[in-house]
Structure 1
Amino acid sequence: MKKLTTLLLLFISINLFSQSPWTKKKNETYVQLSYTSISNYDKLFGSPEINLSQKISDNTLQLYTEYGISDKTTLVLNFPFKLTSSNATSAPSNNSLGNVQFGIKHNFSNKKWLLTGQLNVEANTGNYDAVTGLRTGYDAWSFTPLFIAGRGFNNWYVQAFTGFDIRTNDYSSNYKLGGEIGYKTLNWLWIAGFLDGVASLDNGDIVLPSENLNTGLYVNNQSYAAFGLKLIGEVNANFGANVAFGGAFAGRNVAQAPAISFGLYHRF
């Protein structure tokens, strides 16, 4: 149990609204700047466990925004800047843009339950360092259709999503499933727990360099089953901060390391 609660995943979704069924009102904007840190891991989930020959650190500075083009349709943009490094003596870091994401989500029903569809596209904008194997994004385009449902109550909400990551360049595609429940404990504090799972369809046969495999960064056939916790503090109606962390029930080809994310957001 101790191991279970200390193994955290980079790939857990920590963005508070990216898989939410709620859309923005027309001309409303939401912006979040966040920083995620995973330091000095040298093991990957696997059967058996995979031991790396170097220690990897993977940090991400991320700008995420949503804009309502109507009361039912919202545009999504996400710009991740990756700060990756290893304890290798030569060319030990790769600091570059990750996979830039843009998308659109539309609410089809807003009665007791919100029913929303979303399509995200990740561009092949990552960078690869051939010396250390440090990669800042998938060497592929990704298309992610999602179906999302949710409902809000007086002091709590519940939401769930399902969908696929469809990748080009012979990467395997993924099936995605997750859910979240949040409760307003104080006038200014929300606490939310989530479950998040990704299962590789094992339908891609890309051959990646051994140097890349020895980092675990954006390699093929990654899977996980995870849980986590989010804390959201509201300074006022438009400005706030959040922190998120999580743990893994199981995984494949993903890092075993503590991770934590901090973010600041603003609504316009």
Structure 2
Amino acid sequence: MFLKSKNWFGKSFQLGVFLLGLIYLLNYQEGLSQSGWTKGKKEGFYQLSYQSMLSSDYFTLEGEKLETNQFSQQSLVFYGEYGVTDQFTIIANLPLQTWNGFENTQKVSGLGDLRLEFKHAILKKYLPLSISIAPELPIGKANNFAKSTINDFEQINLPSGDGEFNVWSTLASSFALPNTPLYGSIFGAYNIRTEYEGIQFSDQFAIGAEVGYQIAQKVWVNARLNALATVGDVLVATDFVRGDGTEYTSFSFGASVPVYKKFHLNLNYRNFNDLIFDRKNLYSSGVVSIGLYYERK
């Protein structure tokens, strides 16, 4: 199963095709900061970011850790928010290009799935509270085959999109202390998944919290704790390539600094552990991202 050896294809290759639960997950799950705030009318936030990960540590459906040939993923992602009114914000998240590959395969790339989020403020002034609906449109490459660099007649599917239509629903709340540059947010979300090529995927739910603080009235730093779990048990390896049965707990630390007028540089580091939900069906390693964003107020 992609175990390190001189010849890791053959029969092992047929099983190894299931070891890619995190291929599209990195594109948006942690990159989005869920909060109770909505943008003001005509306000906006627009970011272009690059993120990268390398890992040979794969966690199976049972949570067993396996060492495989190294898997790598890099993504170039656009994220934007626009305030239609003071209480209604439209959010878009689109991986413009995602590069996937093992150390003994070609690297393949493609457009990712588009996530559109429609966010409404239930409360805004004293205790910001929002609800959002986010359909995810399967416009990315659901099938994207990479050939082995050892045996050119062998190939593996490394999609940049999951091929299914799904909808996230999120409830989030936030606070900001008066006269203190400190904020916090918590959220809960549910993902209704559908199917791809006759394979029905299991629903998911996610929870998370974030705190942030501004240093010297310029540098914002933040810390996040997120967790994702699958609804019900996934016992059979139906199609792990698309994240069915994936679970994890993740933590991240980030900072943003102004670089020119309303442009800011954003840096983030993310990793995974078993604090809330044990890691299942994913490659686990550090994920580094760097982004440039423009904020209009």
Task: List aligned pairs for 1:254-265, cutoff 5 A.
Answer: 254-265=282-293
Inter-partner Cα distance in structure 1 for 2:139 and 2:32: 23
Shift of 1:93: 2.0
- TM-score normalised by the chain length of structure 1: 0.85
Q: Are 2:294 and 1:266 equivalent residues in the alignment?
A: yes
Inter-partner Cα distance in structure 2 for 1:229 and 1:125: 30
CA contact (8 A) 1:75 1:103 kept: yes
SS state at 1:126 partner: coil
- Which position in structure 2 is the counterpart of 1:125? 139
Q: Give CA-to-partner distance per residue, 1:7-50, whole Å, 9 cap, x none.
A: xx947844364x122211111221100000012x2221242213
Ranges in structure 2 where 5+ consecutive residues have no aligned partner:
1-24, 146-154
CA RMSD between the two structures: 2.1
Inter-partner Cα distance in structure 2 for 1:219 and 1:22: 29
CA contact (8 A) 2:272 2:286 kept: no
Q: Are 2:160 and 1:136 equivalent residues in the alignment?
A: yes
- Which position in structure 2 is the counterpart of 1:82? 98
- Which position in structure 2 is the counterpart of 1:5? none
* Aligned residue type for 1:21: G
Q: Are 2:252 and 1:222 equivalent residues in the alignment?
A: no
Shift of 1:139: 2.3
* Aligned residue type for 2:88: T
Task: List aligned pairs for 1:43-82, cutoff 5 A.
Answer: 43-46=57-60, 47-52=63-68, 54-80=69-95, 81-82=97-98
Inter-partner Cα distance in structure 2 for 1:156 and 1:103: 26
- Which position in structure 2 is the counterpart of 1:4? none
Inter-partner Cα distance in structure 2 for 1:219 and 1:196: 17
Match of 1:156 among 166, 177, 182: 182
Inter-partner Cα distance in structure 1 for 2:120 and 2:212: 22
Q: Give CA-to-partner distance per residue, 1:108-138, whole Å, 9 cap, x none.
A: 1123210100111111123222422212122
SS state at 1:235 partner: strand
Q: Are 2:192 and 1:166 equivalent residues in the alignment?
A: yes
CA contact (8 A) 2:48 2:293 kept: yes
* Aligned residue type for 1:75: I
- Which position in structure 1 is the counterpart of 2:210? 180
Task: List aligned pairs for 1:231-250, cutoff 5 A.
Answer: 231-235=255-259, 238-250=262-274
Q: Report sequence identity in percent.
A: 24
- Which position in structure 2 is the counterpart of 1:3? none
Inter-partner Cα distance in structure 2 for 1:42 and 1:246: 16
Inter-partner Cα distance in structure 2 for 1:235 and 1:152: 25
Inter-partner Cα distance in structure 2 for 1:76 and 1:118: 10
Change (3 A) 1:95 1:33: same
- TM-score normalised by the chain length of structure 2: 0.77
CA contact (8 A) 1:226 1:246 kept: yes
Inter-partner Cα distance in structure 1 for 2:136 and 2:28: 17
- Which position in structure 1 is the counterpart of 2:56? 42
Inter-partner Cα distance in structure 1 for 2:261 and 2:125: 24
CA contact (8 A) 1:145 1:163 kept: yes
Shift of 1:229: 0.8
CA contact (8 A) 2:272 2:285 kept: no
* Aligned residue type for 1:230: G
Inter-partner Cα distance in structure 2 for 1:222 and 1:117: 25
Q: How many residue pairs get matched?
A: 248
Inter-partner Cα distance in structure 2 for 1:96 and 1:51: 27
Q: Give CA-to-partner distance per residue, 1:157-179, whole Å, 9 cap, x none.
A: 00010011111101111111000
Shift of 1:220: 1.2
Inter-partner Cα distance in structure 1 for 2:242 and 2:218: 37
Q: Are 2:50 and 1:20 equivalent residues in the alignment?
A: no
Change (3 A) 1:100 1:58: same
Change (3 A) 1:220 1:87: same
Match of 1:29 among 44, 63, 70: 44
- Which position in structure 1 is the counterpart of 2:150? none
Change (3 A) 1:29 1:11: closer
Inter-partner Cα distance in structure 2 for 1:108 and 1:26: 16
